[in-house]
Structure 1
Amino acid sequence: MSGRLVLVRHGQSYGNVERRLDTRPPGSELTPLGRDQARAFAGNGVHRPALVAHSVATRAVQTAAEISGRFGLTARALDGIHEVQAGALEDRNDDDAIAEFNAIYQRWHSGEPGVALPGGETAEQVLDRYLPVVTELRMRYLDDDDWTGDIVVVSHGAAIRLAAATLAGVDGSFVLDNHLNNTEAVVLSPITDGRWSCVQWGALTPPFYPEPDADPVGDALRSDTDPMG
């Protein structure tokens, strides 16, 4: 096998600009900057895909179209890899909602994956729909001795970080302290016995050290950017 799984966060959306918890598909569209980000990702020469896929959310569809078009590929939709569902917090951008989302997300990475967002998902539910999609991509393509090239999957920040940490054993405190900007990616390389190695997290490469002072709630409230990375 020769190829990696590139989990890339979509380009900037109007929901991101408004700092909304925009999680329910189809969701908001890309901004002009978001389209530029997608084209820049495709043009950076680092991740030349053999296959491009995306979630069912509009911003992921549009990002994938920009990337796949660069390489003459047809992007394909995959169920199950949409964003963590915020439930009763959906479409809110007030500090209380952002703090609650991030506090529960922190609990997921601190050993409490069964805690649910109000009216929304638990980490276990997110992983139950997300990981089988990754496994199928690996079994069908990356584990094939004749396969060459990366698989680029356009997905969503909170879901990518949760899934990637679970698959590659990345420390939860690192995950909480290292968000993904729009069109940043987590790159996973398949290794023996069905395992994965994380070879890139945004702009960072291994080793991924624990962050003892991670404060995701405070970071989200202090940030003037969107809370969903």
Structure 2
Amino acid sequence: MRLLLVRHGQTPTNVDYLLDTAAPGPGLTELGERQAAALPAALAGEDISAIYASTLIRTQLTAAPLAADLGLGVTVRDGIREVSAGDLEMLPGDTEAGHAYMTTVFAWAAGDTELRMPGGESGAEALGRYDAVVAEAAGSGAGTVALVSHGAAIRMWTAARAANVDVAFAAAHPLDNTGVVVLEGAPEDGWKVLSWAGAAVGPAGESGPTGEAV
């Protein structure tokens, strides 16, 4: 199975750099709408046969142009929503709160899944809900599935589940709005990242034609 993990388009709280993770969340900015409108062309080479989005409005708005272009519906699932910020909700992401948030997310990806976000979920809960949606998508029979999700959640799940991407790589490679991580594999066999935001990823998480970080 080919799995496309797509970050949503830009939101007003992305612009303000806030830890905005609660449902239903904001819509898209004008730039975010243009980013969503560009997705069909950006993914034109993919034979997508199923599209999923989270329960946060921004992912559904991002998925809508792609779904319309392909004549597909959008399956909405809570499991691929953003990692809950808990007590850190709506605090600035470029402060100690943001550092605590991402440190917790990557600790989960490294295996400390019993750790809990302050006032929020544990790593076991976050990975478990994401795993469940990926398993559902894999069991749908679709050869290629697009999951429109969220930056921290995508980086956490990929670092935890892909054999060739580790925490150091995911931490060093934030995803821009509508950035895409392409994987292949299956829940029972494991996953391998093929590309990260358009750059090929090698066996050890190397990216770019010379293996340099991009």
TM-score, structure 2 length as denominator? Answer: 0.87
Q: What's the counterpart of residue 12 of structure 1?
A: 10
Q: Which has the higher contact order (CA 8 A, sep 6+)?
A: 1
* Contact in 2 for aligned 1:41/1:67 (Cα 8 Å): yes
SS in 1 for 2:49: strand
Please give the alpha-carbon distance, in whole angstroms, between the structure 2 residues aligned to 1:46 and 1:183.
16
Q: CA deviation at 1:181?
A: 0.7
Q: What's the counterpart of residue 170 of structure 2?
A: 175
Matches within 5 A, 1:128-143: 128-142=128-142
TM-score, structure 1 length as denominator? Answer: 0.81
Q: Which runs of 5+ in 2 are unaligned?
A: 207-214
SS in 2 for 1:66: helix
Q: What's the counterpart of residue 59 of structure 1?
A: 58
Please give the alpha-carbon distance, in whole angstroms, between the structure 1 residues aligned to 2:12 and 2:47.
27
From the superposition, tell whether residues 39 and 195 of structure 1 become closer, same or farther in structure 2 (CA, over 3 Å). Answer: same
**Paired AA for residue 167 in structure 1:** R
Please give the alpha-carbon distance, in whole angstroms, between the structure 1 residues aligned to 2:113 and 2:203.
21
From the superposition, tell whether residues 192 and 128 of structure 1 become closer, same or farther in structure 2 (CA, over 3 Å). Answer: closer
Q: What's the counterpart of residue 212 of structure 2?
A: none
From the superposition, tell whether residues 21 and 208 of structure 1 become closer, same or farther in structure 2 (CA, over 3 Å). Answer: farther
Q: Which runs of 5+ in 1 are unaligned?
A: 143-147, 212-229
Equivalent position to 1:156, from 150, 153, 164: 150
Equivalent position to 1:205, from 184, 194, 200: 200
Q: CA deviation at 1:51?
A: 1.4
Q: What's the counterpart of residue 105 of structure 2?
A: 105
**Paired AA for residue 138 in structure 1:** A
Q: What's the counterpart of residue 40 of structure 2?
A: 42
From the superposition, tell whether residues 124 and 191 of structure 1 become closer, same or farther in structure 2 (CA, over 3 Å). Answer: closer
**Paired AA for residue 84 in structure 1:** V
**Paired AA for residue 67 in structure 1:** L
Please give the alpha-carbon distance, in whole angstroms, between the structure 2 residues aligned to 1:106 and 1:5.
21
**Paired AA for residue 72 in structure 2:** L
Please give the alpha-carbon distance, in whole angstroms, between the structure 1 residues aligned to 2:90 and 2:188.
41
Question: How many residues are matched?
Answer: 203
Q: CA deviation at 1:192?
A: 9.4
SS in 2 for 1:141: coil
Identity score, percent: 36
Alpha-carbon deviations, 1:121-142, whole Å to 9, x = none? 2221101111011012112224
Please give the alpha-carbon distance, in whole angstroms, between the structure 2 residues aligned to 1:69 and 1:128.
30
SS in 2 for 1:76: strand
Please give the alpha-carbon distance, in whole angstroms, between the structure 2 residues aligned to 1:59 and 1:139.
26
* Contact in 2 for aligned 1:174/1:208 (Cα 8 Å): no
SS in 2 for 1:151: strand
